[in-house]
Amino acid sequence: MSLPGVAQKRKAALLGAGLLLASVALLLLGVSVGSTGLDSLFNWQRDPQALQIVLEIRLPRTVGAWLAGALLGLAGAVAQGLFRNPLADPYLLGSASGASLGVALAMMLLGVSPLATHWLARIGLTGAAFVGAVLAVLLTLLLAKGVQHTLRLLLAGVIVGVVLGALTSLLLLLTPDIMQAMQAFVLGSTGFIGWSACAIMAAALAASLLAAWMLSHALDGLALGEATAHSLGLPLAQMRAALVAVMALATGAAVAQTGLIAFVGLAAPHLVRSVVKTTHGRLIILASLMGAVLLTAADILARGLVAPQELPVGVLTAVLGGSYLLWLMHRHTGRGSGL
């Protein structure tokens, strides 16, 4: 291995270790942030209610934010590699609009709300969001007539997103009673994550991460161009289909539990590439860790900035992520290069 390759591998390992340490620090910080401050953390041995607050509210919320961020970071890395576009994000195939439509339909037909605590209601919303996201991706694939043409797939995703978004808006106009409840999903929130949601996201993350890592050589080949990838003997059609499935699973699992959280999947791979240039195998893992750190930090800020009230974490990630991308565009405009 060449010296530059060794240096980049060492830098990637250091970045991964740093992100893991940051994850541990944020996990400890997350269980100490809440409307009751540090009292629940320090008094849990004497107060059973304080222990319940830590174990049943703060800890699953913090772990859930980490898992959702990891899923979005992974999906973002896959999307940018698959479309060979640094501006691609996990919602590009219409999954966000499909999930929103699924939740709106569930609330209109079943009368459930994101604020509901009954486990049947939560499973109903979660299932509706996941099914809506997956069906939207399948509709995109149908319109694009498969995954052979990346540009057609990209355009189909945009069309599906616009149409399903319009249908969601129409449902909200027809049933204004669900509009306020729908805000919790549209703005993004980790406040309703429990241990069952963490288990679902952990399983989805393990499956998605393993599949994406095994398919990472296809992304490396696509980065060199389709002609080169074909010359390497890669079965691009099958690998693209598998990568789209990975992206749909990761995005659907995250969106179903947290709602629409912007810019995490877009910014996480960018931040990794700004530190280290590496293969997609390492990029996928590092982008997952970066997304986890970003969303966990944003969730802690959302809880702490205006405590005891909370900011919607999706709004906070949109402001911070949008500001980062504007700065990135400004920096690269002066160099005459793309992102």
The structural domains of the chain, with segments of one domain joined by +, span 3-333
**Neighbour count for residue 213 (Cβ, 10 Å):** 17
Measure the CA–CA gap between 305 and 285, rounded to whole angstroms: 30
Query: Locate tokens 């060794």: which residue?
Result: 6
How confident is the model over 25-34, as a mean pLDDT?
83
Measure the CA–CA gap between 119 and 121, rounded to whole angstroms: 5
Which pTM value belongs to this model? 0.85
**Of all residues in the chain, what percent carry a pLDDT higher than 70?**
83
Q: Which CATH architecture has domain 3-333?
A: Orthogonal Bundle (1.10)
- 51-55, 58-62, 200-204, range with the lowest pLDDT: 51-55
pLDDT at 117: 42
Chain center to CA of 308: 26
Q: What residue type is 132 in one-letter code?
A: G
Measure the CA–CA gap between 140 and 148, rounded to whole angstroms: 13
